[in-house]
Structure 1
Amino acid sequence: MNKLILETQISIDGYIADENGGTGWMVWNWGSDWNWDKDLQAYHTSLHKSVTSILISSQMAQEGFNAHWKQVAQDPTDTRFEFSNHIANSKKFVVTRTLTTETEIPGGWQNVTILKDNLEDDISNLKSHNNGNIIVYGGATLVSSLINSNLIDEFHLIINPIALGQGLPIFKKLTNLKMVNSIPFECGIIVNHYKTEI
């Protein structure tokens, strides 16, 4: 059985974005200035290259997830090239109730499949039949739904050294996790790796 893996940046008080969806508080805000230290960059790249598919929300598809990483992957001198190239070439699944392949999205629908039936059935089917593990980069709504449905097998929480006080959480119910390890990095981030308790 393949695994669904969550990698997300998060504040120390459990938010993945501020109340308005802003992420400017992150040590690295996914932009061109990849100011994580080399060890954290290597961790992220290795984790991403261990999967074959990516799960994203409809909002991320519409905001240009595909187009952004395709563009980054055009420049082999970009420090983000290794993992962005893997993103660009990986199969993507978009969870949506409204989008169709007739809807225009930045980067287009090449190598992108829509999931719009029952989320639990769709993810269970992917885990059974997909060729490899899947990583989810989603907004708070999608990730919370996956957590609430006990569909995520591994959590890689990239904990930024900031407390927001309020914002968009992903944990909205009691969730028991088993710690695999906790790694501090020079840039101030701690990555906590958990597995779902069975």
Structure 2
Amino acid sequence: MGGAGRLVVAMQVSADGFVDSEVPGADWQLWNWGPDWPWSADLRASFNALLAGASGILLSRPMADEGFLGHWERMADLHPGDADWEFSRAIGALPKFVVSRSGHPRQRWPRTEVLGGGLAETVARAKERAGGALVCFGGAGLVGSLLREGLAEDLRLFVNPGFAGAGPRVFGPWLVEHGHRAGAVAAYGCGIVESRWSRG
């Protein structure tokens, strides 16, 4: 996870480097965050450990508006006591920080705070309030901005065994300047490869 106060970006990406697809019918993502979870046991354990080591969650306003928190609350209710779904309970229990430059989410959720202002200032405030490591799942616009401004200390990339063809990316030339270095790499039974990168 990294040290206390670090921002960890965790993203699913396609084999060709996209985080979503604009190609109709592209079946690049092994798990689409729905109720069926085809990840193998080794990857499930790694993902649950990611949430277990977090002190807070950073989200974009569109993700909050579009039901991210409500979805995982429902999944936690559907799988009570199931160790595979411990991460969904962690999402509900951890403090959430929604990055918003223009307003509040349409829905209000427990343990969720909306933070405005410049991105660097917002991330610093979220880290202070969380008192430990933050995990960000996106969306793509927020993650791209975090990487562009050098605000993400750690990257956890879950590379799917599929091609998106075209769509949004979160990577760009600015990553060369920010000094992320490759760490652990794990190939999981379901075909996903997790690549970890850290700086500082």
Worse overlay, 15-24 or 46-55? 15-24
Please report how far the alpha carbon of residue 40 of structure 1 lies from its aligned counterpart in structure 2 after TM superposition.
0.2
Shift of 1:52: 1.3
| Residues 55 and 71 of structure 1, relative CA distance in 2, 3 Å threshold | same
Please give the root-mean-square deviation of Cα atoms over the aligned residues, in Å.
Answer: 2.1
**CA 1:98–1:78 in 2, change beyond 3 Å: closer, same or farther?**
farther
Task: Give the total of aligned pairs.
Answer: 193
Write out per-residue CA displacement over residues 16-71 of structure 1, whole angstroms, 9 at most, x where no aligned residue. Answer: 00137998531111111111000000000001110011011111111101111111
Q: What is the rounded CA distance, in whole Å, between the counterparts of 2:162 and 2:169 in structure 1?
A: 14
Q: Which runs of 5+ in 1 are unaligned?
A: none
Distance 1:39 1:54 in 2: 23
Segment drifting more, 114-123 vs 171-180: 171-180
The structural deviation recorded for 1:104 is 3.1
Displaced runs of 4 or more, over 4 A: 20-24, 77-80
- Alpha-carbon distance change, 172 to 124 in structure 1, aligned in 2, over 3 angstroms: same
The alignment partner of 1:147 has SS state of helix
> Higher helix share goes to which structure?
2
- TM-score, normalised by the number of residues in structure 1: 0.89
Whether 2:86 is the aligned partner of 1:56: answer no
Q: 1: distance between equivalents of 2:183 and 2:26?
A: 27
* Distance in 2 between residues matched to 1:34 and 1:130, nearest whole Å: 29
Other structure's SS at 1:73 match: helix
- What one-letter code is carried by the residue in structure 2 that aligns with 1:95? V
- Residue 89 (structure 1) aligns with: 93
Q: What is the DSSP-based 3-state SS (H/G/I as helix, E as strand, rest coil) of the residue aligned with 1:192?
A: strand
TM-score (norm 2): 0.88
Identity %: 33
Name structure 2 gaps, 5 residues minimum.
none
In the TM superposition, 1:1-198 aligns within 5 A as: 2-19=5-22, 25-75=28-78, 76=80, 80-100=84-104, 104-105=106-107, 108-128=108-128, 130-176=130-176, 177-196=180-199, 198=200
Mapped partners of 1:26, 1:78: distance in 2: 23
